[in-house]
Amino acid sequence: MSNSVIRVVDENNIKTTVDCFLDCLAYNSNNNMSTHNREAIAEQIVLSEINNLRSDPSIVKENGCAACHILFTLSNRMQISEQDASDLLSEALFNNPEINELFIEIVENIHMKKRMMGVSFSIKRREAKDKYIDSNFKNTLAELSADIANYGADIVLRKLLISSISLEIAKNIGIDHHAAIEELYYYMRKNDQQTHESILEFTNRFYEKIRRK
């Protein structure tokens, strides 16, 4: 994608471009469209939504996630699953450094600069707080159990590693977890081979320890 397209900030022009891409998408259907065309459409939608959020950060409601909003927009507009949208979003950010920079900029703006953190939880009664924590505790265990059954232990271990590292970043920097995990993904995209090898090395050592027992 050319720099002139990436730096477009006129929302009307962006939406027109995206709508043209989506017309093409509807005409060809997801099954017949080439990977290159799907990625190009995804880049346009991501860029459009980034610019929408730059113009009006309040689109992401209190305690909402800027990255999730862009992901769900991509899923809805392309009429694809959230998993497919997640893959396309990752590809768009990984392959286009300028969009990657704009993406992390809007995440930081919404999650760090525009938001007072933890207020809505802190004003709840103790009973409501405990109920909220209990729900998250049970839901997380159920989700991980389902992931093991559907995707295998390697994927779950990687998920737990990413969660642990991003949580450590959040605590040390003093930002929310949404922002921390996007900062981590941003770093991993820029250092893809190094981080992949580090995680693979840890995973191998982890399984080796288990086998020795």
Instruction: For 184-203, write each residue's pLDDT tens digit.
Output: 999 999 999 999 999 999 99
Counting the structural domains of the chain, the total is 1
Contacting residues for 25 by C-beta, under 8 A, at least 6 apart: 33, 37, 38, 41, 78
* 35, 21, 91, 95: CA torsion to nearest 10: 100
- Segment 130-145 shows an average pLDDT of 94
Residue 198, domain member (yes or no): no
The pLDDT of residue 184: 95
* Domain-located, residue 169: no
Helix boundaries (H) for 29-65: 35-55
Domain-embedded: residue 136: no
Domain that holds residue 47: 1-115
SS3 call for 138: helix
Q: Do residues 177 and 102 touch, judged by C-beta distance below 8 A? A: no
In this structure, what DSSP letter does residue 139 have? H
- Examine residue 210 and state whether it is found in any structural domain, yes or no: no
pLDDT confidence bin for 74, thresholds 50/70/90: very high
Cα–Cα distance, 153 to 139 (Å, whole number): 18
Whether the CB-CB separation of 112 and 101 falls below 8 Å is answered with no
Q: How crowded is the C-beta side of 154, counted as CA atoms within 13 Å?
A: 4
In this structure, are residues 114 and 57 in contact, taking their beta carbons and an 8 Å threshold?
yes
In a domain, residue 180? The reply is no
Say yes or no to pLDDT of 69 above 80.
Answer: yes
**How confident is the model over 50-64, as a mean pLDDT?**
88
Q: What is the mean pLDDT of the chain?
A: 82
Whether 195 is in a domain gets the answer no
pLDDT of res. 99: 93
Share of the chain above pLDDT 90, in %: 54
188: tokens are 């991993």
CA distance 56 to 106: 11
Residue 102 lies in a domain: yes
Residue 38, amino acid: R
Q: Is residue 129 part of a domain?
A: no
Whether 41 and 22 have beta carbons less than 8 Å apart is answered as: yes
Which position has the token pair 């689109």?
A: 59
34 or 20, which is more confident? 34
Q: pLDDT category, 123, cuts 50, 70, 90?
A: confident
Who has greater pLDDT, 176 or 66? 66
More confident residue, 64 or 199: 199
Query: Between these two residues, 142 and 123, which has the higher pLDDT value?
Result: 142
Identify the band that residue 8 occupies on the pLDDT scale cut at 50, 70 and 90: very low
Q: Is the pLDDT of residue 10 over 50?
A: no
The model's confidence at residue 141, banded by pLDDT at 50, 70 and 90, is: very high
pTM exceeds 0.85 = no
